């Protein structure tokens, strides 16, 4: 430690101010070069004079741009064209865009679509060759060892020698109702004490897609065909509940039923759509519903980074405790305001500042905002023991005074109400 300190000290001592700035940025991982995988694909495409589309497709299929570059260097463009889905090598998952309602999804998909329950768990991709099974997470991490009962279920329930399947793992309670997402996270990616947690938090697999079966890639087959093949290939593993319809009222009822059973909402999948690895398009739409909005007061804010440098862009949101009159933080958000609104908010908050500590400004509780969120989680971090999941500001409530914000008691009531649909550990 001492040695490190001295090395850094001497390095900075020898640097010019500008050099020092970038040295520190590098050391603390704040370079913000704007260089992500998309640019890397472009770079590889140019470096090997290969069409960008081909590089992108290969990147999706292998989930590894480094490997694509290697293939191009060693075997040239032909190797990429020949590239298909490979067993035991994960491909990037197909992604969904958002839709507001089942009706909108039906319209977008041309009058009829397939709705499936959207479960609040973790997406997995399963590769099976005989008794060998590998399970990959959404970011293609191998999570096989964390989920022994899923591996076992696949061995027993997938009636094909080779298969690549997709599904969602959720944690379930004794009655079969879904447990809140945070319980699943105690199982997912766990490496130690798996046996012990296996008993405490049971997980369950729901399958929804089949990408490969016994030598045949299905990724270019239409959704309905893949789904049919899936239902024929599995026994004893549930598929996500599904309804194919063009009737908005029927779809809406299905949506309500999913929510009533404690699930997140629906997916809508275009009937004739191929499986497009890594693509976030309109072939798949997700439909969720926020819980009832809360009016909360901003009690502190933090300065942003990068493009939000110099702006108070991250806000602490508090509800009022009707027993003590105290404002208690239930979450933090940076979402929902436009740049212009953030600039204005910065000015207002600075005028309300009570105290500054580091990056944070504590303010007089005065500005009320309407906040949307999707769940109230049990929180080890906040004093009130609860936290909003996916909090975002939907409106600035200048018509409301801080005395009128929602109470902790109301937040707790909504928290408790969630367990009418979900299981509790």
For residue 328, what are the β-bridge partners? 319
User: CA-CA distance, 369 to 253, in Å (whole number)?
Assistant: 32
Minimum Å gap between C-beta 163 and DNA is 20
User: Does 274 participate in binding DNA (rule CB under 7 A)?
Assistant: no
User: Does 378 participate in binding DNA (rule CB under 7 A)?
Assistant: yes
Q: How many CB atoms lie within 10 A of CB 117?
A: 23
User: Does 191 participate in binding DNA (rule CB under 7 A)?
Assistant: yes
Structure-token pair, residue 212: 């490969």
Structure-token pair, residue 33: 């070069």
Catalytic: 276?
A: no
Stretch binding DNA (CB under 7 A), from 70-78, 114-122, 153-161, 243-251: 114-122
**Contact between residue 121 and residue 181 where contact means Cβ atoms under 8 Å apart:** yes
- Using CB under 7 A, pick the residue from 123, 257, 348, 364 that binds DNA: 123
Stretch binding DNA (CB under 7 A), from 237-245, 278-286, 362-370, 408-416: 278-286
In angstroms and rounded to an integer, the radius of gyration of the C-alpha atoms of the chain is 25
**Contact between residue 115 and residue 251 where contact means Cβ atoms under 8 Å apart:** yes
User: Does 308 participate in binding DNA (rule CB under 7 A)?
Assistant: yes
User: CA-CA distance, 154 to 384, in Å (whole number)?
Assistant: 41
Helices 17-27 and 2-14 meet at what angle, rounded to 10? 150
Which of 118, 134, 269, 422 is flagged as catalytic?
118
User: Does 182 participate in binding DNA (rule CB under 7 A)?
Assistant: yes
Minimum Å gap between C-beta 206 and DNA is 13
Minimum Å gap between C-beta 390 and DNA is 4
3-state secondary structure of 128: strand
User: Does 253 participate in binding DNA (rule CB under 7 A)?
Assistant: no
Minimum Å gap between C-beta 123 and DNA is 4
Q: Which of 331, 389, 334 is nearest to 182 (CA)?
A: 389
Binding site for DNA (CB under 7 A): 1, 29, 32, 34, 36-39, 95-98, 120-123, 137-139, 141, 143, 181-182, 185-186, 188-193, 197, 264, 280-282, 286, 288, 302, 304-308, 313-314, 331-340, 372, 374, 377-382, 387-392
Question: Catalytic positions, please?
Answer: 118
């Amino acid at each position: 430690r001492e040695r490190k300190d001295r090395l850094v000290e001497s390095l900075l001592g020898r640097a010019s101010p500008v050099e020092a700035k970038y040295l520190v940025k590098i050391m603390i991982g704040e370079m913000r070069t704007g260089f992500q995988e998309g640019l890397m694909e472009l770079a590889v495409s140019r470096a090997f004079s290969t069409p960008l589309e081909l590089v992108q497709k290969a990147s999706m299929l292998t989930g590894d741009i480094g490997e694509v570059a290697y293939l191009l260097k060693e075997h040239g463009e032909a190797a990429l064209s020949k590239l298909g889905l490979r067993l035991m090598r994960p491909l990037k998952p197909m992604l969904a865009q958002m839709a507001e309602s089942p009706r909108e999804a039906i319209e977008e998909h041309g009058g009829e679509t397939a709705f499936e329950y959207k479960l609040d768990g973790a997406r997995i991709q399963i590769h099976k060759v005989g008794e060998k099974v590998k399970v990959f997470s959404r970011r293609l991490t191998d999570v096989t060892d964390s989920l022994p009962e899923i591996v076992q279920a696949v061995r027993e329930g997938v009636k094909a020698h080779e298969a690549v399947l997709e599904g969602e793992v959720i944690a379930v309670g004794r009655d079969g109702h879904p447990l809140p997402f945070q319980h699943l996270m105690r199982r997912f990616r766990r490496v130690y004490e798996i046996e012990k947690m296996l008993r405490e938090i049971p997980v369950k697999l729901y399958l929804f897609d089949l990408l490969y079966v016994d030598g045949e890639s299905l990724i270019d087959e239409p959704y309905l065909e893949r789904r049919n093949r899936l239902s024929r290939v599995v026994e004893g593993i549930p598929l996500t509940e599904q309804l194919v319809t063009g009737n908005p009222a029927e779809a809406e009822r299905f949506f309500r039923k999913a929510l009533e059973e404690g699930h997140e909402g629906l997916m809508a999948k275009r009937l004739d759509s191929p499986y497009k690895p890594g693509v976030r398009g309109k072939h798949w739409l997700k439909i969720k519903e926020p819980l009832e909005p809360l009016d909360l007061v901003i009690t502190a804010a933090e300065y942003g980074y990068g493009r939000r440098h110099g702006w108070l862009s991250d806000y602490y949101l508090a509800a009022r405790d009707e027993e003590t009159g105290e404002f208690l933080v239930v979450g933090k958000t940076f979402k929902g305001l436009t740049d212009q609104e953030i600039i204005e908010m910065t000015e207002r908050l600075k005028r309300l500042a009570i105290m500054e500590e580091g990056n944070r400004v504590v303010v007089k509780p005065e500005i009320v905002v309407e906040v949307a969120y999707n769940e109230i989680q049990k929180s080890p971090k906040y004093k009130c023991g609860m936290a909003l999941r996916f909090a975002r500001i939907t409106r600035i409530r200048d018509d409301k005074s801080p005395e009128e914000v929602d109470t902790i008691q109301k937040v707790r009531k909504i928290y408790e109400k969630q367990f009418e649909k979900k299981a509790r550990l």
